């Protein structure tokens, strides 16, 4: 359907409003340190890293996935944290209220966009959360593997600070083997190394 000039201007206004609003994601800091351990990464850096990894690691997936869909998914998956805040992977108390906080955030943030784009992003976010499609599985693998790589590079700093156990890391990554056997092997090697170095508890 062809849009009028006025409709296009209104659409552009909403898109600009969204673009400026999501700049706030640069101020949402995670518990994971950068590879040099100098400081913690923010959500924007994390999402960029996942999008790059999506391009690089696609050959190791058990199922084919729509790469553009995966990249879009990882670029938007943490925008809800602008309102909901970052919930640390091993924060059991925070996990209780995480879904409710993030749903409210999704309503507001994706609601800033023109209806068709807002619905598209909301559906992609819901698909990521559901963890059922090949794209969602790949996106989750990236979302889990990236902080693990940074923990490895930074000398297990975040794991050591939070007293993380092997069982917690394995529980968080329990579905990775169905997505990529080779990535799972790498995860196991990294975890074992940091148990031996004293950054992770063995149980």
> What pLDDT does 87 receive?
80
Q: Please give the mean pLDDT across all residues of the chain.
A: 96
> What pLDDT does 92 receive?
78
* The token pair that represents 141 in the structure block: 């693998």
Q: Is pLDDT larger for residue 87 or for residue 158?
A: 158
> What pLDDT does 130 receive?
97
Please determine, for residue 49, whether its predicted confidence score (pLDDT) is greater than 80: yes
> What pLDDT does 95 receive?
77
Q: What is the pTM of this model?
A: 0.95
> What pLDDT does 139 receive?
98
Q: Which CATH architecture has domain 5-196?
A: Orthogonal Bundle (1.10)
Q: CA–CA separation, 78 vs 73, rounded Å?
A: 9
How many residues make up the chain in this entry?
Answer: 203
What mean pLDDT is predicted for residues 47-76? Answer: 98
Please determine, for residue 83, whether its predicted confidence score (pLDDT) is greater than 80: yes
Q: Is pLDDT larger for residue 93 or for residue 15?
A: 15
* The token pair that represents 13 in the structure block: 């206004």
Environment class of 177 (CB within 10 Å of its CB; exposed 0-12, middle 13-18, buried 19+)? middle
């Amino acid at each position: 359907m062809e849009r009028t000039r006025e409709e296009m201007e209104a659409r552009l206004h909403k898109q600009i409003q969204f673009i400026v609003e999501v700049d706030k994601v640069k101020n949402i800091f995670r518990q994971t340190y950068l590879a040099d351990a100098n400081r913690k990464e923010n959500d924007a850096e994390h999402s960029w890293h996942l999008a790059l990894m999506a391009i690089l690691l696609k050959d190791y997936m058990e199922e084919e996935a729509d790469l553009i869909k995966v990249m879009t998914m990882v670029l938007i998956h943490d925008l809800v944290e602008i309102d909901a805040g970052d919930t640390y992977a091993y924060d059991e108390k925070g996990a209780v209220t995480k879904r409710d906080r993030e749903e409210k955030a999704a309503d507001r943030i994706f609601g800033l966009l023109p209806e068709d784009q807002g619905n598209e992003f909301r559906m992609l976010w819901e698909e990521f959360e559901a963890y059922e499609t090949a794209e969602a599985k790949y996106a989750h693998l990236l979302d889990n593997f990236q902080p693990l790589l940074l923990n490895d590079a930074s000398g297990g700093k975040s794991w050591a600070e939070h007293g993380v156990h092997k069982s917690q890391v394995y529980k968080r990554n329990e579905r990775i083997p169905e997505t990529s056997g080779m990535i799972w092997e790498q995860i196991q090697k990294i975890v074992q190394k940091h148990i031996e170095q004293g950054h992770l508890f063995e149980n």
